[in-house]
Amino acid sequence: MLAIKDLSIAVGQKQLLSKIGFEVKPGELIAILGPNGAGKSTLIKAISGTLPSSSVFWKDQLITDFPSDEMALERAVLTQQIQMSYDFPVREVVLMGRYPHFNNQPSRQDFEAVEKALEFTDMQKFADRSYETLSGGEKQRVQTARVFAQIQLNNTENTNKLLLLDEPLNNLDIHHQHLMLQRIKQFSEDRNVTLLVLHDLNMAAQYADKILLLKNGNQLAFGTAKEVLNEELISSCYELRVKIDQHPYHNCPVVYFGCYGKMYQKFNPTVQGHEVSLTI
């Protein structure tokens, strides 16, 4: 359904992405991993059509060939930086996601989609609150609700949609990180395609069907968590010591990072080989 074919993006002399290629089937959730500057956000922009390219295909057609109003009904994007010039009630912020669906006034279906999106992101009790009074994590959940409302969350037409999320777990507590990924996974399983940027490798291992690993604009690997999360590859990518084990509760790998000796000793010279794990 989504195909990336030999995608390269450059700005001036800077090569941001080099020959990226993979395919995503309906129902798959893809986690995009990699260190800062790997090209993760650039890839999201290219797939969304924000950065024009002749290498991104949606339903066997160049994604840039789709009319923008048509794509707005089946593709939604959550970016990292979302600035709002004016304050609105939470419900109205989520309703903004429904703008592609009506001309003058929202319909009953639009309001129903908003309520479902608020429930989906556990924000219904904040619906009448001022957006600017919310915490960072609560604002993130509102914006996630907005993009879900845009692509008609939980109705009969909610299949064959494309959801692109750039670091959707920013500012969320552990409970809501898992809740959001469970809901995103649920959405994907309904024959939709979801790509999301994450920094937590263990969250990716637990929820994603496949993982795309990037570094310096290059594709290091694409496959299941068991295929991608191996000690040699992850250690090379993140330049840290790595130990891979089996998750105690889930059938997936769990990644433990340990700082290299010199790197860690700069902060605590009395401790060597100290290991820490990501959230499991």
Q: List, for residues 255-273, the tens digit of each pLDDT value.
A: 999 876 555 444 444 444 4
User: What are residue 189's phi and psi, to 5 degrees?
Assistant: -65, -15
Q: Examine residue 271 and state whether it is found in any structural domain, yes or no.
A: no
User: In the predicted model, what is the mean pLDDT of residues 24-30?
Assistant: 98
Under the banding of pLDDT at 50, 70 and 90, the label for residue 83 is: confident
Note the residue count of the chain.
280
Q: Examine residue 275 and state whether it is found in any structural domain, yes or no.
A: no
Q: Is the pTM of this model over 0.75?
A: yes
Report DSSP letters for 95-157, one per residue. HGGGGGG-SSS--HHHHHHHHHHHHHTT-GGGTTSBGGGS-HHHHHHHHHHHHHHHTTTTSTT
User: In the predicted model, what is the mean pLDDT of residues 237-265?
Assistant: 83
Q: Which residues contact 3 (CB under 8 A, 6 or more apart)?
A: 22, 23, 24, 56, 57, 60
Distance CA 189, CA 233 (A): 29
Residue 14: give the domain boundaries: 2-224
Element (H, E) at 264: helix 261-265
pLDDT in tens, 36-59: 999 999 999 999 999 988 999 999
Under the banding of pLDDT at 50, 70 and 90, the label for residue 81 is: confident
Average pLDDT across the chain, whole number: 90
Q: Examine residue 256 and state whether it is found in any structural domain, yes or no.
A: no
- pLDDT computed for residue 82 by the predictor: 75
- Indicate the DSSP class of residue 31: E
Q: Examine residue 267 and state whether it is found in any structural domain, yes or no.
A: no
Q: Examine residue 266 and state whether it is found in any structural domain, yes or no.
A: no
- pLDDT computed for residue 280 by the predictor: 43
CATH number of the domain to which 46 belongs: 3.40.50.300
* 158 pLDDT more than 70: no
What distances in angstroms separate CA 210 from CA 92, 147, 204, 263, 273, one per listed residue? 35, 22, 8, 31, 31
Q: Examine residue 257 and state whether it is found in any structural domain, yes or no.
A: no
Q: Examine residue 45 and state whether it is found in any structural domain, yes or no.
A: yes
- pLDDT computed for residue 173 by the predictor: 97
Give the dihedral of Cα atoms 112, 116, 117, 120; nearest 10 deg: 180
Q: Examine residue 280 and state whether it is found in any structural domain, yes or no.
A: no
Distance CA 194, CA 75 (A): 10
- pLDDT computed for residue 264 by the predictor: 45
Instruction: Give the total number of structural domains in the chain.
Output: 1
pLDDT in tens, 222-232: 999 999 999 99
Lowest mean pLDDT among 7-21, 80-94, 124-138: 80-94
- pLDDT computed for residue 153 by the predictor: 52
pLDDT in tens, 167-201: 999 999 999 999 999 999 999 999 999 999 999 99
Q: Which residue has the tokens 């010591």?
A: 241
- pLDDT computed for residue 86 by the predictor: 72
- pLDDT computed for residue 157 by the predictor: 60
* 246 pLDDT more than 50: yes
